[in-house]
Amino acid sequence: MGDRLIIVSNRLPYRLGRGEDGERKLEHSSGGLVSGMGPLHERHGNVWVGWADEGGQELSARERAEFDAQLVAHDCVPVHVCEEDAHGYYDGFSNSTLWPLFHGFPQYTSFEEADWEAYRRVNERFCEAVLSVARPGDTVWVHDYHLMLLPSLIRKASPQTAIGFFLHIPFPDYETFRMLPWRQELLLGTLSADLIGFHTYDYVRHFLSSCRRLLGYDNHLGHFLFEGRSTQADAFPLGIDYDRFHNAALEPKAACQIERIRADRERPGSKTMLSVERLDYTKGIPERLRAFDAFLQRHPSWRENVVLKLVAVPSREGVASYQSLKREVDELVGSINGRYATSDWTPVEYYYRSVPFDLLTALYATSDVMLVTPLRDGMNLVCKEYLACRGDGGGALVLSEMAGATYELHEALVVNPFDRDAMVEAMLRALEMPPDEQRCRVSAMQKRLARYTAGKWAEEFLAALDGVLRHQARLNAHLLGPTSSRRLQEAFAQASKRLVLLDYDGTLVPFVDEPSDAAPDDGLKALIARIAADPATTLAIVSGRDKETLMEWFGDLPVGLVAEHGLWRYSVSQRQWLLREPLDGAWKDRIRQTLLDFVDRTPGSILEEKDYSMAWHYRACSNELAERRVIEIKSALSGVAADMGLMLMEGNRVLEVKPVHVDKGSAAHHWFRDPSYDFMLVAGDDVTDEDMFRTAPENAWTVKVRNEPTQARYALKNPAEMRSLLRGLAEASAPRFEGRSGIM
């Protein structure tokens, strides 16, 4: 990984504010992203690219230039976007399409082509800004849903750049995500990153499932190959700057606020419940207010003895759903206060504004109960900040199970925010929680938060990115580049007797959902014919397919054929299929019904029956279901298989039952044992081809057509690259007969 980090997010860590004297000045923005990335940004040379937030102030051209200059002096690169695009990109696609849909609010989601176009254009503007400062060796870390196209734009312009992407909001399940008309573009946009981070493993799972179902990309423990590059998706739960919050309550400024808040309490001994957030429909504010209403209704003894302080920062006021939420909250607060307030008690104290840091920490430190009950929240930092401010180890946290933070904070009182009874119950438990229990729960959570801070989160993400880059470098060391390809072709041209063994599916043609749709095209056949036509070359297709299919496809060419992973070999000279060893296929009757039952129960799967093997294909099935079924089939058949000398072999989205000892390696041995070959090329793409790679003589050119760990000496990225290699061999081959053309 490079030495310099370029952080990219929608907003910069500074915005334009006004000092006490009314003068314009840069202000630090707050929030988790800034506290996580802040220390990294301050490291020498690092820069932050983002949208320049003018804080709603009208600026002249000269004032804007001054603002820019100030930002640049703080190692920021401002991105300027015209007003129309800014509206379509920010209020439109980011906050009226992605935000509601990703949080599971399809009813608030708009699908406007013009917004999407603005989003694309603004992502391109960000790309230009990144490229204007990027130098070779830099690492770019892109943040959040506003910039999901940016990784692929940067990758296209600068293929070698290390790119990380982190999504701060939930990634929805496939059923929700697939509603987006631009779903594939968004997935492809992020997949060009080397590492894709989410707050929780659930979001990782959802993302991987969408990649599989919408793009057909499989993964292995979150690793997958995208355009020949290894990419990883993983969970990194964001923390907070724990010490900053923990120490804040001890600062004189906050201590003074704390004193004031305590003195202002309407009644000695009364308690405070607090909620703090942006005014957003995902945060569950109306639901919380209704629960509080029900609480006061059911527990009259708490009337006049508890106050709910509701602190909501104005947010996205340009979006209609936020305007109606504001009205709803105003009305609910009015109705509760109207119903229960007395001359010296107001049940809900509502502050519709951002509060300064010292007041915020003082509120945290003095509130008996913190209510964090979003309907959906990627992580939620407020609950973590509250805990960090409890220097006394007291307080009680009511936390929604829909927040990503719940996974780390299970000592909280965890509630379903949609369940009003459960919310009322949790409020009561929190208010009545004995001090010992409070301390026990809070200190357990504090220990975890103090360890996994925002800084640690950033470090771990960058270390994981470094790990992915090292993994790629190891894999790429195997790639058959131009120099080794040339050497391979020279060795081929100079050899007097050559062997070329080629797997078919995934090696010569890409995978398709229906196995029978993968017939060779004319170009491929012409290419194989030309290589095989040279009398000095023996070419064989070594496949898992049945012999009838191979005969139909290649029977008219002078090529050797191996079917069913080595069970059958077609002898060109004898013009007949030879069975590798005498076998009995009676076992198929014993397991056929079991496999057919699995086909019925697994939509999209098919059973292929060959002479001495049976293959259950699940390429067109949902990933989760297929994974589960593979385990079930293995356990259903393991006993029978052992009794009958069979093995269960997993290939590329296929589970095959076949006799033990029959594999492509032993089939290829028929040629490998002949010492007169002075050139051997063996190519394949999946686990069954590894048997050939393992048994091939040391000097053979073994090539895996997938850039992943292998026994082969070299790797190519895809069948297209394999064809291009074969084209080179065809040109070096001596044609046996003239007049063939159309080599592709």
- The binding site for ligand ADQ (CB under 6 A) comprises 30-33, 168-169, 238, 276-278, 311, 313, 354-355, 360, 377-382, 385
Beta carbon nearer to ligand ADQ, 372 or 681: 372
Between CA 565 and CA 572 the distance in angstroms is: 18
Shortest reach from residue 28's CB to ligand ADQ, in Å: 12
For residues 267 and 5, give the distance between their C-alpha atoms in angstroms, rounded to a whole number. 53
- Taking the least distance from each CB to ligand ADQ, the nearer of 85 and 385 is 385
Task: Return phi, psi of residue 598, to 5°.
Answer: -65, -35
Please name the amino acid found at residue 143.
H
Toward ligand ADQ, which CB reaches closer, 91 or 691? Answer: 91
Q: What is the largest CA-CA distance in the chain?
A: 106
Instruction: Spell out where 244-322 has E strands.
Output: 271-278, 306-313
Report, in Å, the least distance between residue 174 CB and ligand ADQ. Answer: 21
User: CA–CA separation, 646 vs 661, rounded Å?
Assistant: 9
Shorter beta-carbon distance to ligand ADQ: residue 215 or 313: 313
Element (H, E) at 353: none
Query: How near is the Cβ of 221 to ligand ADQ at its closest, in Å?
Result: 24
From the CB of 484, what's the least distance to ligand ADQ, in Å? Answer: 45
Tokens read off for 11: 């907003």
282 near 239, Cβ under 8 Å?
A: no
Q: Cα–Cα distance between 279 and 276 in angstroms, integer? A: 9
173 DSSP 8-state letter: P
- CB of 168 vs ligand ADQ, minimal distance in Å: 3
Query: Minimum Å distance from CB 245 to ligand ADQ?
Result: 9
Taking 3-state DSSP, the helix, strand and coil percentages for the chain, each rounded to the nearest 5, stand at: 45, 20, 35
Tokens 């076998």 found at:
583
Catalytic residue annotation: 503
Q: Residue 4 CB, nearest distance to ligand ADQ (Å)? A: 24
One-character DSSP codes across 567-631: TEEEETTTTEEEESS----THHHHHHHHHHHHHHHSTT-EEEE-SS-EEEE-TTS-HHHHHHHHH
Record the tokens describing residue 416, joined without a space.
């379903």
Q: What is the nearest approach in angstroms of ligand ADQ to the Cβ of residue 418? A: 18
Neighbours of 686 (CB within 10 A): 22
| Burial of 326 (C-beta count, 10 Å sphere; 0-12/13-18/19+) | middle
Sequence-ordered list of residues with C-beta below 8 angstroms from that of 284, at least 6 positions apart, any chain: 373, 374, 375, 400, 417
List helix spans (H) across 399-434.
420-432
Tokens representing 404 are 């990503």
At its nearest, how many Å lie between ligand ADQ and the CB of residue 99? 9
Tokens of 640: 């029978």
Could you give the CA distance from residue 74 to residue 54 in angstroms, rounded to a whole number? Answer: 16
CA distance linking residue 419 with residue 422, whole number of Å:
5
3-state SS, residue 369: strand
For 512, what's the count of Cα atoms within 13 Å in the CB-facing half-sphere? 10
Q: What is the residue whose two structure tokens read 């009015």?
A: 334
End-to-end CA distance of the chain: 39
To 10 degrees, the CA torsion angle through 397, 401, 404, 406?
Answer: 50
